Structure 1
Amino acid sequence: MTRRIIVDIVVILSIFCAPLWWITVCLLVFATFFFKRYYEIILAGLILDLLYGGGAFFWGFRFVYTVSGMVLYVALTTFKKQTRFYAGE
């Protein structure tokens, strides 16, 4: 539990302080593999959209990071279930 809280704090700090968005995405992908049911990836996408996605439109849709977080969560969870080396928690 303390590991998850520490990783959440690091992710939140990277959202606010990291100069590039892909640093936060790499941390979120790592955390999704490290923890079971890491729903914080969707919340981080929502925070990224609310802070930095004001002018970002992708085919007329404003919440690009949130939808990307949902897609990443589903894809990585499916990928984790199919790998042999992932034992889960």
Structure 2
Amino acid sequence: MKINNLVFNKLQQEYKKDRKSEKIRAYHKGDSMKISSKAKQIKELEILLREIPDVRKEKVENIKRQMESGRYTVDSRAVARKILSSLDKE
């Protein structure tokens, strides 16, 4: 049986492809990833926080309605007291 260059070249190309894919598989075989326990806890807490309802939503909606109707008023003295008391704490 006589093997001509065309058949030989084809066999050689296929062999090179196989070797290349083996190298790629060997390279990726060692890749791994570990998630720390702290990262897992953070993810769990993030999920829990998303489930907590926005307790101030009702208050915000009430203030919006008051502002739209022109009935919202601000006690400037109370605001000033809060600002001053927060500065005293620093």
TM-score bucket of the superposed structures, by smaller chain: under 0.3
- Length-normalised TM-score, structure 1: 0.25
Please tell me whether Structure 1 or Structure 2 has the larger radius of gyration of its CA atoms: 2
- Length-normalised TM-score, structure 2: 0.25
